[in-house]
Structure 1
């Protein structure tokens, strides 16, 4: 089967099945096939809806990219994602912006002929690390661009922490060591995950008996601090700058937490107690 499927299911392709691209219909008689950019940053400099920060997804996730987002329907949302090898990415048509398709500039994937029916979708499994710029051919000159960055997730050496923080956009594998201090501070509402939706630092290591203090910036709307599997939380959501929450960790272990309203965006943190 070729072309795009409607709400009954998603069309798929992989590196061994590129028949979809053979069925692609050009939007104009003079249009040529897209070619890979020399620089991904340069390519994305005028991508509609891109703020310079890729949206990161952890292993075992199934990211969905809207095709035809924005006020004029000429954007992908999110336009740039970072995923782990083996991730299945789905593009779903909104029906806005007219005829659309999804074509990788390096030829890795191709959704086939253009389509404007909402609910249609296309999916592709990325098995190897790499950077893949893509475009909707009818609107590539209008800035309807995107990219999939395939990379191994950052690693701290703590498996539970790495899995928990894999989707946090500001996590790079660094663990801030505060084992030589009685207190440590985490900022709530730092820049990350597409706005002020991050804890900073996301991964913190302290000694047993030390206290962690969370301090609100007042940015990004209402936040809270809620630990997974432990009765430790800051209470209700608050947007107020200067709000603080403290907890003293007496027992060694790995403590994982999130801001519940923005957990899906990747607003997560971890405290490693040794």
Structure 2
């Protein structure tokens, strides 16, 4: 069955449904006609420069949280930050044909979710924790959104095809890694290669650099800890290779010599959920 392009039904916990319905603060609908701007809403236009516009977003540190094709992205509405109440993550990147869900925390008073280009609109503001709003993104593009009034609660959904290396297993594994852009660092002419552990990415210093590496059989790869981002380790998915327990110590090192060709996927177990993953392609 073909999925609708919008879903404007707010979903509340069973305990809150009766209260919300009595208050009359929620509106539902699925047709394009229902996507009109609520009464009293100021007219909005998409920003010409998304990066510049996001500089005034509460809680924004310049990072984009990337999600892969098999994931269900969720954005918190009303996250408490040093800058004020925010969306969290502020910016997410998803592939086309992805449903994104916004979940209300109950913090910071009344909120809604309104796209500046009119693509989606959750309706009247609401303060009830447990409220959620969903939208199904089909087309690539940059979708800036706010909570009304726009007092720093800004965010964006970037819809784009995931980066591609031409290695299907690697692409699928690294699809949600924020510092992966489809580039494979080529070290096939060297007997050794180095990967730094705990570099900028994935919402902090939770990345391997480079995330994708290509070497030849007989090459030795060494992972070197920066000491940033807490305890990290290196654990392979389909091979009995690993550094052991997580450690935050700088100058920690782990190495392995790859004798057989293949695509080797690995992660930092404590931070795999935020995208701290990597791959070694051995040819």
> In structure 1, how many angstroms separate the alpha carbons of the residues matched to 2:29 and 2:72?
16
Deviations 1:217-259 (A, max 9, x none): 0000000000002111100000000000011111100000000
Structure 1: gaps spanning 5 or more residues: none
Where does residue 86 of structure 2 map in the other structure? 75
Counterpart contact for 1:3–1:23, Cα < 8 Å:
no
> In structure 2, how many angstroms separate the alpha carbons of the residues matched to 1:5 and 1:227?
39
Under a length normalisation based on structure 1, what TM-score does the superposition of the two structures give?
A: 0.92
Where does residue 148 of structure 2 map in the other structure? 137
Counterpart contact for 1:105–1:132, Cα < 8 Å:
yes
Where does residue 35 of structure 1 map in the other structure? 45
Counterpart contact for 1:169–1:266, Cα < 8 Å:
yes
Deviations 1:151-170 (A, max 9, x none): 11000000000000010000
The reply to whether residue 56 of structure 1 matches residue 66 of structure 2 is yes
Aligned-residue offset at 1:2:
6.3
Q: The residue matched to 2:204 in structure 1 has which SS?
A: coil
- Matching residue within 239, 262, 265 for 1:256: 265
> In structure 2, how many angstroms separate the alpha carbons of the residues matched to 1:45 and 1:13?
33
Counterpart contact for 1:4–1:113, Cα < 8 Å:
no
The reply to whether residue 209 of structure 1 matches residue 223 of structure 2 is no
Counterpart contact for 1:253–1:273, Cα < 8 Å:
yes
The reply to whether residue 104 of structure 1 matches residue 104 of structure 2 is no
Q: How many residues get paired?
A: 265
The reply to whether residue 21 of structure 1 matches residue 35 of structure 2 is yes
Structure 2: gaps spanning 5 or more residues: 1-6, 18-26
> In structure 2, how many angstroms separate the alpha carbons of the residues matched to 1:188 and 1:18?
48
Under a length normalisation based on structure 2, what TM-score does the superposition of the two structures give?
A: 0.89
Change (3 A) 1:181 1:23: closer
Where does residue 4 of structure 2 map in the other structure? none
Counterpart contact for 2:67–2:95, Cα < 8 Å:
yes
Where does residue 156 of structure 2 map in the other structure? 147
- Matching residue within 235, 240, 247 for 1:226: 235
Q: The residue matched to 1:137 in structure 2 has which SS?
A: coil
| RMSD between aligned residues | 2.0
- Matching residue within 195, 202, 207 for 1:198: 207
